[in-house]
Structure 1
Amino acid sequence: MTAVSMVLTLAVVMMWLGTAVPWPVALVVGLGIDGGWLATLAYERRLAAQGDHNRVVTAVGWSFGLIATSVLVAHALTAEHSAGAWLAVAWLPIAAKALWLVHSLWERTALTAAALDAIRGIQQEARDEAAVARARLRAEATSEETRLAAVTDAGARVARVQARTAKTLAGAWSTLESARQGEDTSRALTSVTGRVTPGVTPRWELPVWGPVEPVTALESGPALSDTDLEWIVIDIIAHEAKKGRSVSYREVATLFRTGGHSASEVRLRAAWKRAVGAS
């Protein structure tokens, strides 16, 4: 676009001023405009390569662009033929300068090949991790679906077995109830049980189906210490000695547990040995 603008500027100057001044003069004027624009552009590019910027050089460059555009606009307005076509290309010098500005902005943000490779590597790694995460989620969803299907199928099989078992039990209880209600069966059972257990009337009761109430656990007292165990064993031995009896360990253990006490066999035997040794 810069080259086209320079050619158009030179051609317009030659055609516009060629009728008023000799063509060498018009050529010098055109080359002066293009040369000044190109020189300021080159110097501005050199400063940009060094990381520097000069507003004066930039202003001069824009001035040469405006001059070239003004020449093209003036020629289009004064031309007798093809005025619209000349106006259509009159914006090229300003557009070329604007593109050089955009190019300078791009160079300020340009990255090295190593940085671009690192960015591509990071992006590829992120894509790989996202793909692995998606695959893991799909696999987990599939396995969970399979597990739920298996659990549902197993539950259905259990329900069918329970239904068949309940039906079988219902038939069995119905048969037993019919047998119990029958007069002949009742007399036969009574005659048989009467000989085995005289005076006992047989009762055939069906089980009650319903909620089960949990039985509360027995509350045990605090664990006895070794000293307490020893004193209890000594007391049992002394009490039996008053009766003129010498008791063995088995008798002491039986009397100990009959008295409502509880202890492990090892601790109780150790207490008995200490009590016998002390006596």
Structure 2
Amino acid sequence: MSAPAARTVLPAVAMTAVSMVLTLAVVVMWLGTAMPWPIALVVGLGIDGGWLATLAYERRLAAQGDHSTPVTAVGWFFGLVATSVLVAHAATADGSAGAWLAVAWLPLAAKALWLVHGLWERTALTGSALEAIQGIQQEARDEAAVARARLRAEAGTEETRLAAVTQAGARVARVQAQTATTLSRAWSTLESTRAGKDTGRALTSVTTRVTPGVTPTWELPVWGPTNPLPALDATPALSDAELDRLVDEIRHSETPALSYREMSTRFRAAGHSASEVRLRGAWKRVVAA
């Protein structure tokens, strides 16, 4: 018998033995005054024997995985009979009624303990099954712990990122506010300077932004001798016909024909010059032709 089974069956066996002894003793003492004690002993043994026989039959059926309601009912009947005998004896006893009533519940308690043991047997699992269940539970707990840790880490990372973004945004806002204040002060100073009588004429030689409509005449000073550079020869602009011919020639230089972007790149690489508007117009004309 396994240790878990012993924890439920041993109390039931002990309670049953005590109940049978009490029932037999009470029957002999109670009925022994009204009939010969051998007859009272037979009555007591009959109650205990009937109870023990039904209990043995119930245990055999339980071992086979079966159950019989009539047998269970008979077993509870014998338990009630034993309890009734104990209660009746306690009611007629002189001076010790309370003590006998205190033990009158033992037969029913013994039946209840056998019921508990039967329930344990129907729900008991083997050691391997219990280990498998414990492994599944442990795996579920591990996965839950890992998921919680991952969520906490992601939440901390997101919180740090948001804090950094917020601080950076606040710094940018402060710099923009300071820059706007500085520009406002600079424009205010420049406006007051332009509006001055003497300073306005002095600024005329610096920029036309301050005094619109006036051409500046101030030039940068020249330090040291200078050598004039020859003017760059302007490349003559291509005519539409030449531009169309070049575009068509470059476009059909490979098979299949080049795209506009490839043609434009090769056109510039060849040293030709044309505005993007003219080049795209020539492309459209060549494609349409």
Q: CA deviation at 1:72?
A: 0.9
Q: Distance in 2 between matches of 1:193 and 1:66?
A: 123
Which residue does 1:45 correspond to in 2? 59
Count of aligned residue pairs for this structure pair: 221
Which residue does 1:118 correspond to in 2? 132
Deviations 1:98-148 (A, max 9, x none): 321232223222222222222212221221122112212221221122112
Which residue does 1:143 correspond to in 2? 157
SS at match of 1:130: helix
Which residue does 1:70 correspond to in 2? 84
Which residue does 1:159 correspond to in 2? 173
Distance change in 2, residues 1:29/1:171 (3 Å): same
Distance change in 2, residues 1:181/1:90 (3 Å): same
Q: Distance in 2 between matches of 1:12 and 1:59?
A: 24
Q: CA deviation at 1:257?
A: 5.5
What residue identity is the alignment partner of 2:214?
T
Deviations 1:85-108 (A, max 9, x none): 222322221222132123222322
Distance change in 2, residues 1:95/1:137 (3 Å): same
Which residue does 1:176 correspond to in 2? 190
SS at match of 2:120: helix
Q: CA deviation at 1:48?
A: 0.8
Distance change in 2, residues 1:24/1:255 (3 Å): closer
Q: Distance in 1 between matches of 2:167 and 2:277?
A: 53
What residue identity is the alignment partner of 2:170?
A
Deviations 1:234-257 (A, max 9, x none): 8xxxxxxxxxxxxxx99x986996
Which residue, 214, 217, 239 being the options, matches 1:201?
A: 214
Which residue does 1:7 correspond to in 2? 21
Once the two structures are superposed, the pairs formed by residues 224-235 of structure 1 within 5 Å of their partners are: 233=244
Which residue does 1:87 correspond to in 2? 101
Deviations 1:182-218 (A, max 9, x none): 111222344x479xxxxx6259xxxxxxxxxxxxxxx
Q: Distance in 2 between matches of 1:104 and 1:25?
A: 35
Q: Distance in 1 between matches of 2:56 and 2:282?
A: 106
The answer (yes or no) to whether the contact 1:13–1:27 under 8 Å persists in 2 is yes
What residue identity is the alignment partner of 1:92?
L
Which residue does 2:6 correspond to in 1? none
Q: CA deviation at 1:24?
A: 3.4
The answer (yes or no) to whether the contact 2:244–2:282 under 8 Å persists in 1 is no
TM-score relative to the length of structure 2: 0.65
SS at match of 2:33: coil
Q: Distance in 2 between matches of 1:33 and 1:123?
A: 49
Structure 1 unaligned blocks of 5 or more: 195-199, 204-228, 235-248
Q: Which structure has more RCO (C-alpha within 8 Å, separation ≥ 6)?
A: 2
What residue identity is the alignment partner of 2:281?
S
- The alignment's C-alpha RMSD in Å is 3.4
Distance change in 2, residues 1:164/1:70 (3 Å): same
Which residue does 2:44 correspond to in 1? 30
Q: Distance in 1 between matches of 2:206 and 2:194?
A: 14
What residue identity is the alignment partner of 2:159?
E
The answer (yes or no) to whether the contact 1:193–1:202 under 8 Å persists in 2 is no
SS at match of 1:21: coil
Distance change in 2, residues 1:261/1:102 (3 Å): closer
Which residue does 2:263 correspond to in 1? none
What residue identity is the alignment partner of 1:70?
S
TM-score relative to the length of structure 1: 0.68
Q: CA deviation at 1:11?
A: 1.4
Is 1:20 equivalent to 2:39 in the alignment? Answer: no
Which residue does 2:251 correspond to in 1? none
Distance change in 2, residues 1:119/1:187 (3 Å): same
Which residue does 2:225 correspond to in 1? none
Is 1:186 equivalent to 2:200 in the alignment? Answer: yes
Q: Distance in 1 between matches of 2:142 and 2:276?
A: 75
Q: Distance in 2 between matches of 1:125 and 1:257?
A: 70
Which residue does 1:219 correspond to in 2? none
